[in-house]
Amino acid sequence: MLINRVKSSLFASAMLFAGASLLTGCPQGDVGAPCNHGSVEPPSSKLVTFPALSCSDLLCVYGEEPTVPNGGCSTNDDCDNMAGEVGVFECANSTCRLSLDYVLERSMCSKTCTSDADCNNSSLNNRPAVDDEETACESGFSCTVLQRLGQFCCQKLCVCNDDLNSLENLEEQCQPGGEFYEDCLDDEMTEAG
């Protein structure tokens, strides 16, 4: 009788552990979920933050590279009028710059990838982890190169298709023989020590 209870307890413990492993062992992707770079100052263009603790793969990206208006300004409205867009830029020290609020609104969790299929957030049950209402991305994600300098130089990341117009030649320039290929190899060797 005691042996049966011990066997039952061991079996129940094993089943509980297996169930917990299934729930935590294969987390769903969170590509497209909102994230924060932890920066007080807005970037001047594209930005990859690692580690970003709010993202499953610890990558937070801002993938746009808008053209900042060149004239002087005294209010945010001056920047909006020069750019023809509302809320993208702000006036700081009589100069237009990207608005931190806008950057945070357009920043999303990402991950490294080899193909567009890697960016679809599918889990074993094929249910997306990030729904359309949660992400600021309207047109899905593609696997492409986002940076030509730094830690993720010429590495493919999941990037919102809304932002791809500013990235069209970068992937080609990161291929062997491309303009940035050697620079990225030098960066990797420097980081390796």
The model's pLDDT over 41-100, given as tens digits with 9 standing for 90+, comes to 888 778 899 999 889 899 999 988 888 998 899 999 999 999 998 999 999 999 999 999
Instruction: Establish if 1 belongs to a structural domain.
Output: no
Instruction: Establish if 94 belongs to a structural domain.
Output: yes
The two structure tokens encoding residue 98: 């990207």
With pLDDT > 90 as the criterion, what percentage of the chain qualifies?
Answer: 30
Number of structural domains the chain divides into:
1
Is it the case that residue 13 has pLDDT exceeding 50?
A: no
Instruction: Report residue 138's pLDDT band, with 50, 70 and 90 as the boundaries.
Output: confident
pLDDT tens track for 119-131? 987 544 444 456 5
Instruction: Establish if 151 belongs to a structural domain.
Output: yes
Instruction: Establish if 22 belongs to a structural domain.
Output: no
Instruction: Report residue 139's pLDDT band, with 50, 70 and 90 as the boundaries.
Output: confident
Residue carrying structure tokens 């497209």: 32
Task: Kindly report the average pLDDT of the chain as a whole number.
Answer: 76
Instruction: Establish if 14 belongs to a structural domain.
Output: no
Most confident of 9-13, 42-46, 99-103: 99-103
Residues spanned by the domain of 140: 27-192
Better-scored residue on pLDDT, 22 or 71: 71
Residue among 50, 51, 48 nearest 107 (CA): 48
The two structure tokens encoding residue 24: 């935590």
Better-scored residue on pLDDT, 135 or 130: 135
Instruction: Establish if 85 belongs to a structural domain.
Output: yes
Strand, coil or helix: 119: helix
pTM: 0.71
Helix (H) or strand (E) holding 7: helix 2-25
Better-scored residue on pLDDT, 185 or 118: 118
Quick one: residue 93, left, alpha or beta (phi over 0 = left, psi -120 to 50 = alpha)? left
Instruction: Establish if 152 belongs to a structural domain.
Output: yes
Instruction: Establish if 21 belongs to a structural domain.
Output: no
Residue 139 dihedral angles phi and psi, to the nearest 5°: -125, 25
CA Rg value for the chain: 22
